[in-house]
Amino acid sequence: MASGKRPISVSIIACVYILAGAVGFVYHLNDFKAHSFSYGVLGIEFVRVLAIVAGVFMLRGANWARWLAIAWMAFHVGIGYLNGWVQMVTHAAFLVVIAFFLLRKPANEYFTNSPTQAKEG
Residue 81 lies in a domain: yes
Please state, in angstroms and as integers, the Cα–Cα distance from residue 1 to each residue in 14, 21, 28, 31, 95, following that order. 19, 29, 40, 45, 25
pLDDT tens-digit profile of 57-111?
Answer: 999 999 999 999 999 999 999 999 999 999 999 999 999 999 999 999 999 999 9
How far is the C-alpha of 11 from the C-alpha of 80, rounded, in Å?
Answer: 26
Is residue 75, in this structure, part of any structural domain at all?
Answer: yes
Whether 13 is in a domain gets the answer: yes
Amino acid 43: pLDDT: 87
**Count of structural domains, the chain:** 1
Within-domain flag for 120: no
Local structure of 58: helix, strand or coil: helix
Question: Domain span at residue 101?
Answer: 8-115
Rounded to two decimals, the pTM is: 0.85
